[in-house]
Each structure stands twice: as C-alpha cells, then as structure tokens.
Amino acid sequence: MEAPLEGKLLLVGEGDFSLAVALVSKCSFHGDQVLATSLETEESIEKHHLASRNIQILRDRGVRVCFDVDATELQTCAALQVMEDARFKRIIFNFPHAGGKSNHKKNRTLLNNFFSSAVKVLTPGGQVMVTLCRGQGGTPADQPMRAWHDSWQVVSMAANASLILTQVVPFSAEEFQEYNSVGFRSLDKGFHTEGALTHVFEVAESVAVPDCVQDTGELVWGQRTYTCPRYLEHKLNRTLLYSLHHPLHQLRAVLEELMSAELGSQAHHLDTPSVVKEGSGPRLVNQGETQTHAAVYDFFPMPYSLRESFQCPSDSAKEDGIVEEKEQDESERSTNDLTPVGDNLSGQFHLRSGVIEELPPIVSLMATSGVACHMVSCDVYGQRVIGQKTSSVGHQMMVVSRDGNPDEQVWAISRVVQKATGFYSDITSVDDENITVSTDFGELRVSHEIKMVSDQKNTGDVCGCVLNWICPDNQMKLILVVLDLNKIVMKVHEIPVLPLLWSTDPRFKNQFADNTGTMVKYKPFSLYSMKFFHDLSFWENQTRQFEEQTLHDIVREVAGDVVTDVKMIDSYRDYETDRQSRCYRMTFQSHDQALSYITSWKLQSMLRLEVANKMGIILR
C-alpha cells in the first residue's frame, strides 16, 4: 500500500486516522493526493484518544479529512461528489469490521457492498486493498487456512464486483510507526495484527451469462457462410500462432527458424479461416484392445461437421483475425502456397481436425520443389470431452521429411525442439498398439510418441507423435512428426490451464512481450480463483441412446471455457421403471475473469434446461 502512486489515494473506514498519518509520513505522497475518510462523525471519533492529534497532522500536511463517509456508498458520498475528480488509483480499507461481536455473514456483506461501491470510483488500472486479520480472508495464503464457511470469503465477495485477487502481501504494523489499529468491536481497541494479510484486487472482465443460447455460430469463408458450433465461433479467427507476443506465436517462430537453419526445412503458413475440408477427416483404425499409449489418440479426434447456411456474408463480415488482427506480423503471414479447397464446394465439410489433413499439398510441393523437408502450423478443431488437460481447439505443427535415415530425421527434429524449449525429448515406440490413421488420401501408421521431460530421469506428457506414410501415387516414403504446440507452450511457460491461451486479458500476453529469447515463466494474475461445483442429475431418454460427447458439447455451448471439468459421479438403474439415472459434477472456474457464485448458478440453470431440451432427458 506504500508503493509509489500516480493518482489519488482513498482511505476508508479509518479509526483514529493513524494509518493515513503513517502512510503520509513514510511515503512520498503529496497531501493533495490523499483523501482520508471515516464513517464516524467529527464528534464521535473523539472516543479514540489519538484521533484529534492525527486529524490535525493530516490537515497540516494538506490531506483532506472527511467524516460520515460510508465505504459501501462511495458513489453517492457528498464529500466525493464535490471533488473535481473523484476517481482514485488506490483505495485502502484496513481491517474492515461490521461492528459488534463477530458475525461472518455481516462482514461478508460489508466486503461485498464495499467492493461494489469501490469499483465505481476506481480509475482504470486501479487497485483496491483490503487488510484482514489472520484467517479471515479464507484463501490458502492464510496460515493456517480456515474452513471456507468460517471465513469472510474475500475473493468471492470481490468477484461480485468484477474484481480479481492479484496479490497477497503480509501486513506488518511495525513498519508503520504511527499506526495504531482501533475499532475492534466498535471500541477504542486494536485488532490482532500478527499474521494479517493485505489483499490487492484489480478489475477484470466478468464471466458473462448469455441472454439466450444460440444453436449455432457462423464461419465466413470466401463468399460462403457455414454454420459451426457457437463455442468455436470467436476462436476460429483468433490466429494465435500469428499474434505478436503470444507464447504460441513465439514458439512457432522459434521452431520455424531453427528447423530452417538446421534442417533446411521450408515453412508454410495457413491463413485462418481456411479451415473447411471435404471428406470425413482422419479416423483411427486397427486400434489394439489396450490403450497403453492412449495420449496418442488425442491427436486424432472426431471433427466438427459444417453446413452451408446459404446466406451471403455482409460487406462488414471479417475474413481474417477477429480480436488480434492488428497485432499480427504481416511479414510472417506469407501467401498460403498450399492448395486450398475450391470455392465451388459440394458434399460434407468439417473443421480441420488435425494438421495431417494438410499433407496432400505438402506432398505436391515436395515432388516439384526439390525441398526434402517442409513444415506447416495451424489451428485444429476436434470433439473432445471436457477435462483439465483437454480442449476442442488446438494448435499443431507438422514436419514432413523424406530421404535419409528415418530415425536420424526424427532425432534431428527432437534436438531442434530441445534447443527451442530447453526440454529433452523421450521418443518411445508404439508399434505394439498398432495405431493406424485412415484418411481420404491413404493410411498412416503411428510409430512413436514423443514426450517432453525436464531431464532424462523424469516422465512427461505426450506432446507429439511420429507417423509413416507411403504416397500411393509415386511410392514416396515420408516421415511425419506432429507436435502439439498447446502442450509444449504450456509446459515451457508453466501455464496451468488451456483456456488461458485464449485469454483476452492483457495481463496474460504482456508477460511474454519480452522478445529476448528467454523462456518466461507464467505468473498468475488472478490468485485463488473461485471454484464452484454444481451437479446435474437426470433420467436418460429411453427412446434414444445417451451420448456423453453431446452432453459435453452442450456444456461448452452454454458455459464456454468456464466449466473446466465434467465427471460422472453416480449412475444406477431403477429396475421397477427400467430407467437409467446419471449424475454429473460440473466444475466452474476461470483463471482470468471474475467468476461469482451467482454467475455459476445462472450458467448451471441454463445448462440444465439446454441439456433437457436437446437430449430429451428428465431432470431430477
């Protein structure tokens, strides 16, 4: 709270104004920067024996002192309304208390109303600071941490006002010589400050509750418009691989540069939204009964189907990046030299589910260009269940090479990845799984999986696979290395959850703006984000087969990335009615937006109705 300040400082709930005196004495705040306020009247505050002296000190230093200021009604406070600019860069509430004996409900209400009021007089980029006694906050920063019901639930109360917790620092009263905590149970008596914590909050975007759930979104491609899942609509044109300072952009650029320098490979860029493909997409066949290497299967999900909507796009329809187009490096957005699908399409279309769908035009180039190694990076879309480590939107890189020793080629590529990321590659054969990928242009055999490990003694997550393909036309034998860029970038930067890659909060991407080549470790800017659990219990529709993937798709349509996990926790059959019951537990959490309990409850209510309507189930 004593950090240098550009702007105005507001102190609310002052007891004897000793905190204001301490801050002005210790810090380089100008008197006209500070407004110190109290709920007390000028007469009633005399019960604090040092109040008169402190008030005079402040006034002598040019600090404005105001009484009868309700911290829960700052936007209507007469003292603030007469100010020329009643906006503050920092608002401090030290040891708030509702008065009387301890009552968690009253104190939560006090915090809730204070936060709602404070954001209305806070400048953009400002901070709200609340200091609480040990254990009151209810966060893991408290040692020991109280049970949730036995705390003031400060993060949850702040989320109601679109505030996220960005920092927690110990409050040491000894550092403020003039400070004297008073007001415990409305008396001239101090709080126990040992173990106290100052919680720093900043405004963030709130998780939105849609007015209604749209059945489909739109994908504009060329002169045609296609329907697509609404959940994917705003992601289709984000082009994160070409968005400056985004970690995916940086990883792709480094890999391409090293691959080109060390392997002589040629890079190809795919301009979104050229994601419409004919055919059915890659399909796994000849799988073994066991799935020892199940993570490899994640590279080949079922694709999302598209339908032409037969609507002419408006002149204002965007065909390139939606959110971050202005930040894209046009020097890297080279013309797509891979053969696109024609504009006179017919038949079944789907969103590109894997980078291997770009293999045919690569093969054509290899046959004519004389370049033996090519690489292509793109966004991919596939149907997956909701989980902590899964996403329906991914980013992949494919390196295609011919000639030479296949093992040497794979290890050369892995050495490039190691040089770019600092992680070793553990390449393991999966021949025992007999994994074959069937495509519209032939079959490919998966021979190896690639893991990234910090050292050669540890195991890691599967981030890539190796495929072998013999071209049917000219018998060209190719080695394909497919890399999951999402998993790699998350491991390199220690990004905890996939949805953060899509964050529009500048506090995410700004962390990676330093382009010196160092691998920046992600620092969470939303601490101890709220996690809420809601259960969905229902009877299955007896006339149609229950499809769990459909349930997950509906959840995404309603709640987007806010539902981070969906698990079935109970299932049983009622033999009297021959009905099957299921119960799923939904985990609601956001690591970059403010999520309140009431928002999670509203989303859950919409979700229940949508699942009942679209799946024909009977809610319980």
* β pairing state of 34-37 and 64-66: parallel
* pLDDT on residue 323: 32
Residues in the chain: 620
Tell me which of 275 and 336 has the higher pLDDT.
Answer: 275
Q: Are 74 and 120 in contact (CB under 8 A)?
A: yes
* pLDDT on residue 331: 40
* Cα 5 from Cα 20, distance rounded (Å): 14
What separation in angstroms does the CA of 213 have from each of 38, 198, 209, 555, 560?
46, 40, 10, 11, 11
Q: Residue 440 above 70 pLDDT?
A: yes
What separation in angstroms does the CA of 406 have from each of 260, 320, 447, 588?
18, 38, 11, 45
Sorting pLDDT into bands at 50, 70 and 90, what band is 180? Answer: confident
> Could you tell me which of 221, 485, 476 has the C-alpha nearest to residue 365?
476
Q: Say whether the peptide bond before residue 4 is cis (omega within 30 degrees of 0).
A: no
* Cα 42 from Cα 447, distance rounded (Å): 80
Instruction: Categorise residue 448: left if φ over 0, alpha if ψ from -120 to 50, beta otherwise.
Output: beta
Same fold, 9-203 and 531-619: no
* Cα 529 from Cα 531, distance rounded (Å): 7
pTM of structure: 0.88
| pLDDT tens-digit series, residues 307-338 | 877 554 444 433 333 233 334 444 444 445 55
> Could you tell me which of 466, 467, 437 has the C-alpha nearest to residue 450?
466
Q: Residue 613 above 80 pLDDT?
A: yes
* pLDDT on residue 192: 75
Sorting pLDDT into bands at 50, 70 and 90, what band is 619? Answer: very high
Find residue 589's DSSP bridge partners: 531
Q: Which residue has the tokens 């769990």?
A: 548
What separation in angstroms does the CA of 437 have from each of 156, 283, 292, 444, 469?
47, 6, 17, 5, 10
> Could you tell me which of 111, 278, 277 has the C-alpha nearest to residue 201?
111
Among the ranges given (195-204, 427-436, 503-512), the one the predictor scored with the smallest mean pLDDT: 427-436
Report the CATH architecture of 531-619: 2-Layer Sandwich (3.30)
Mean pLDDT value across residues 442-446:
89
| pLDDT tens-digit series, residues 551-577 | 999 999 999 999 999 999 999 999 999
Q: Residue 215 above 90 pLDDT?
A: no
What b/e sequence results for 143-175 when a residue is b if at least 16 CB atoms lie within 10 Å of its CB, and e otherwise? eeebeeeebbbbbbbbbbbbbbbbebeebebee
- Going across the sheet that includes 224-228, the strands are 217-221, 224-228, 305-308, 349-351, 276-278
Structure tokens at 329: 């490096």
What b/e sequence results for 529-544 when a residue is b if at least 16 CB atoms lie within 10 Å of its CB, and e otherwise? bbebebebbbebeeee
Find residue 594's DSSP bridge partners: 206
Structure tokens at 393: 């939107």
What percent of the chain has pLDDT above 90?
A: 51
Structure tokens at 219: 């994908």
Residue 374, amino acid: H
What CATH superfamily classification does 9-203 receive? Vaccinia Virus protein VP39 (3.40.50.150)
On the CB side of 75, CA atoms within 13 Å amount to 11
At a CB cut-off of 8 Å and minimum separation 6, what does 344 contact?
Answer: none
What percent of the chain has pLDDT above 70?
A: 88
Alpha carbon 395 to chain centroid, angstroms: 16
* pLDDT on residue 85: 80
| pLDDT tens-digit series, residues 329-373 | 444 444 455 544 444 444 578 899 999 999 988 888 888 877 889
The per-residue pLDDT of the chain, averaged, comes to: 85
| pLDDT tens-digit series, residues 373-413 | 999 999 999 999 998 788 899 999 999 998 778 888 899 99
What separation in angstroms does the CA of 181 have from each of 43, 186, 193, 446?
19, 12, 8, 68
Tell me, what DSSP letter sits at residue 243? B
What is the greatest pairwise CA distance in the chain?
Answer: 96
Tell me which of 311 and 587 has the higher pLDDT.
Answer: 587
Q: Residue 72 above 50 pLDDT?
A: yes
At a CB cut-off of 8 Å and minimum separation 6, what does 532 contact?
Answer: 587, 588, 589, 595, 597, 600, 601
Domain extent listing, the chain: 9-203, 217-512, 531-619
CATH of 217-512, one of 3.30.930.10, 3.60.15.10, 3.10.20.30, 1.20.1050.10: 3.30.930.10
Q: Residue 423 above 80 pLDDT?
A: yes
What does 96-151 look like in DSSP terms, one character per residue? ---SSS--HHHHHHHHHHHHHHHGGGEEEEEEEEEEE-TTTS-STTSSSPPPGGGS
* Cα 515 from Cα 422, distance rounded (Å): 16
Helix 51-60 with 18-26: angle, nearest 10 deg: 40
Tell me which of 254 and 290 has the higher pLDDT.
Answer: 254
Strand ranges, E, within 292-357: 305-308, 349-351
* Cα 573 from Cα 61, distance rounded (Å): 76
Structure tokens at 266: 């040629």
Question: ∠ CA(52), CA(54), CA(55), 5° rounding?
Answer: 65
| pLDDT tens-digit series, residues 277-296 | 887 788 877 555 445 567 78
Q: Residue 254 above 60 pLDDT?
A: yes
What does 446-466 look like in DSSP terms, one character per residue? EEEEEEEESSTTS---EEEEE
